[in-house]
Structure 1
Amino acid sequence: MVVQTTAAAAVVLAVGAFLIVFWLGPGIGAALVTAGAVVVAVVVAAVGFVLFKLREGPKDAEVVAAYLPVLTAEWSQAAEEAKRLSGAGDVVDRDVLTGHLWAAEQVLFNQEAPVRTADGITRASGHIAEARYLLAVAEALGRGGPRPHRGAPCFFDPAHGPLTDKVRFNPEGGADRTVSACGSCRALVEAGKVPPSKQVVVGGIPTDYWRAGRVSVPYVDGYWQQRRFPDHELHRLRRDLKLTWDPAETELPAHLDREPPWYAG
């Protein structure tokens, strides 16, 4: 579409230049055409630069600085819960659960190849999201409840695990929207309270992760994967940057022939 539009514009400009030269003569006409070409070139270059900046991904260093501490804490919590699994662990595939935690561990804690890119943050958060879902399954089925819906994570804090319901949320100064919520956050909303959102430090200032713009795209992309994010601005950034994480494309490490991680139980 872009190529076709550019080609059509080039044809129109060429015809226009020919008519100017034809009517005004080679001297004045050529001068006007040259000046017009310079103006068009400057405008095209400016538009191209703006479009490039709009599609430019988040800076790796900024993303890692903001989310490495967040994901380290989330991984540690999930690993501790995996270690405490008892008989409830029989209702989930422990190898798959351990595999996701092990894969996230390699991204976050590998001293030889420390995480330095936004893509690493996406992969780590994606594996933690998968592990968090399996932990929620183990907890629910272990107490005789139904299997949790494999949907989006809790909007207020993705580390809370998958949703149990959807609620209406109207942040201060924001539009009313429907968001996924875990049981605890849903109860707070129903009580007329605003659940605290996951905080991330950007530029030395703590802020709600969903308000952090491009810095949060890799983190959100790992947790939401192909799902739509309820905040319009952040969802637009994800769509424009075309950053998606598909667990089917990520082969888990061949860890079963190695010594199990400490959290394997």
Structure 2
Amino acid sequence: MRIVLRRFRVAGPAAFLAALLGLLLLLAPAPASAASGLDAATAALKQGRVYVDPAMTGQFSQAQADALTSKIKGMDKPVLVAVLPASSAVPMDSAIRDLRTKVGIVGVYALWQGNQFAVRADSAAMSANTVRNYGQAAFDSHRGDINGTLTDFVSNAGPKVKGHAAGSSGFSAAAIVIPLVILALLGVGVFLLVRRARRRRAERQAAELAQLRTVVDEDITAFGEELDRLDFSPGAPGADDAQRADYTHALDSYETAKRTMDAARRPEDVKAVTEALEAGRFSLATLAARREGRPLPDRRPPCFFDPRHGPSVQDSDWAPAGGAPRSVPVCAADAQRLATGLDPAIRTVDTDQGPQPYWNAGPAYGPWAGGYFGGHGSGLLPGLLVGTMLGSVFSGGDAWASSGSGHHGGYDGGQSYEGGDFTGGDFDARDFGGGDFGGGGDFGGGGDFGGGDF
């Protein structure tokens, strides 16, 4: 009995202390490292840190995440990276979109979820095509290796990202410590340089607009002649409401093109003119089909060789001089020429080197081509023009074919942002594009947020 009592007296306080310690552990807050999910990722990314979920540290360690964070900070670019476990509740396309919404920073986003890899970018930071290509290359080079894939992607895509890291001024430390006296002395010189640069830019735009005006006036005149030759009277007995609507739309497009060209002040303004001409010619093609009792034509891009030929009827293989073959939209006449081994009827324009195909006439023709072809898929123009002089204009993501008159990504309210700016949830998902890469390495469709190029 004494032995039992002694054991009770010794074990009693120990049990009480153990119970008390367990209670304290239950009441104590969980360590920060236990946090996981989109909320924890959001908090980390807002602080400029790469986030790795605790459940994924066995595949991507915190040390690797810290090294990647240092690399991104050294670049001073808005690149945001998160590693999360697979989730059936939140699929990849929703997860990365939700991450962009919660973080609210304009930039390039990379998300590894389970064994999938996704990249997206606001168009103000990087084009959808560019970020997709870098993501595909990184994933293909390091199958299943999270650290290798993310490091490859950041190393190659990071320097191409526009803008600076959120909260960064974009100036180097050396620039900040320059004595104010020297800055004041340089102020006048900087002002003069900026003014001269603006004057030169205005002169260049005026010269490009004059160059375009000649070509666009020819396009408008050619369309007007088509309308004059059209044997159609809205009041004729055989005319119906659909035919009259097509005819009216063609006339309205003609007037819109003339009025817009008269008001043009910058080369970018020409895009709206050729958009109107393209729409007008399609209306004439629809009108002709109705009158002849044929099926209505599909909305196709104009003939690549000369948009004045009207809407294309098929795609044909063709290669420019010294360039790689590609499939281009062609009219019936040019399709027949190509099929018989003849050269197509190519639109040429005057240059300092003499008449040249429009795609070799320089970047001034970017908005002209963007109006004709830009509305038929954001990836159309780069593929058509690769290897040509004009193709360099669109290599950064089809700049002239995007909506709006400027070169930057568009957001609600008409504001202009760059990488690193904060928009919160107020962003257009159509301007947030990229690609998904699955565990097998196949390229995923990327989802569609509202019909945009995603």
- Normalised by the length of structure 1, the TM-score is 0.65
Q: After TM superposition, give the deviation of residue 208 of structure 1 in Å.
A: 0.5
Partner of 1:152: 301
Aligned residue pairs total: 203
Q: 2:227 aligns with which of 74, 82, 86?
A: 82
Question: 1:242 corresponds to which letter in structure 2?
Answer: A
- 1:1-265 matches, within 5 Å, as 8-9=73-74, 59-87=204-232, 90=239, 91=243, 92-108=245-261, 110=262, 113=263, 115-203=264-352, 205-226=354-375, 227=377, 228-229=380-381, 230-233=384-387, 234-235=390-391, 237-238=393-394, 240=396, 242-244=399-401
Contact 2:305–2:345 (CA under 8 A) maintained in structure 1: yes
Q: Deviations over 1:238-264 (max 9, x none)?
A: 3526223659xxxxxxxxxxxxxxxxx
Residue 207 of structure 1, CA deviation: 0.9
Q: In the TM superposition, what whole-angstrom CA distance separates every residue of 1:104-156 from its partner, at most 9, and x where no partner exists?
A: 11123x3xx4x331122111111111111111222233233332221111010
Q: Which secondary structure state, in structure 2, belongs to the residue aligned with residue 139 of structure 1?
A: helix
Partner-residue secondary structure (3-state), 2:345: coil
**In 2, Cα distance between equivalents of 1:207 and 1:128:** 22
Between the two proteins, what is the percent identity of the paired residues? Answer: 25
Taking a change above 3 Å as real, the CA distance of residues 59 and 146 of structure 1, as seen in their structure-2 partners, is farther
Which whole-Å deviations, capped at 9, do the CAs of 1:17-64 have from their partners, x for residues lacking one?
xxxxxxxxxxxxxxxxxxx976xxxxxxxxxxxxxxxxx9x9423432
Instruction: Give the distance between the partners of 2:75 and 2:342, measured in 1 at CA.
Output: 58
Q: Answer yes or no: is the 8 Å Cα contact 1:154–1:181 preserved in 2.
A: yes
Return the alpha-carbon distance in structure 2 between the equivalents of residues 212 and 160 of structure 1: 20
Structure number with greater Rg is: 2
Shift of 1:88: 7.8
After superposition, the Cα gap between the structure-2 partners of 1:65 and 1:213, relative to the gap in structure 1 and judged at 3 Å, is same
User: 1:10 and 1:71 mapped to 2: Cα distance?
Assistant: 43
User: For residues 204 and 10 of structure 1, do their structure 2 counterparts lie closer, same or farther at Cα, with a shift above 3 Å needed?
Assistant: closer
Tell me by how many angstroms 1:204 deviates.
5.6
150-159 or 81-90, which deviates more: 81-90
Aligned partners of 2:246 and 2:287 also within 8 Å = no
Kindly tell me: are residues 223 and 105 of structure 1, through their superposed partners in 2, closer, same or farther at Cα, counting changes over 3 Å?
same
Partner Cα distance (1:184, 1:116) in 2: 35
Cα distance in structure 2, aligned partners of 1:148 and 1:66: 33
Q: SS in structure 1 opposite 2:367?
A: helix
Amino acid corresponding to residue 97 of structure 1 in structure 2: A
* Shift of residue 76, structure 1, vs aligned partner: 1.5
Structure that is richer in helix per residue: 1
Q: By how many angstroms is 1:65 displaced?
A: 2.6
Q: CA deviation at 1:236?
A: 5.3
Amino acid at match of 1:159: R
Aligned to 1:20: none
Note if contact 2:307-2:372 (Cα within 8 Å) is conserved in structure 1.
yes
Over the aligned positions, Cα root-mean-square deviation in angstroms equals 3.5
- Residue 225 of structure 2 aligns to which amino acid in structure 1? E
- The 2-side partners of 1:188 and 1:176 are apart by 17
Unaligned 5+ segments in structure 2 are 1-44, 49-68, 77-171, 175-200, 405-454
Partner of 2:91: none
Give the secondary structure class of the aligned counterpart of 2:328. Answer: strand
Q: Give distance in 1, aligned partners of 2:214 and 2:226.
A: 19
Amino acid at match of 1:147: L
Task: Describe the shift of the 1:9–1:212 C-alpha distance in structure 2 as closer, same or farther (beyond 3 A).
Answer: same
Superposed CA deviations along residues 78-120 of structure 1, whole A, max 9, x for unmatched, are 1222234344864243332222111111123x3xx4x331122
Amino acid at match of 1:216: Y
Aligned partner of residue 93 in structure 1, secondary structure: helix
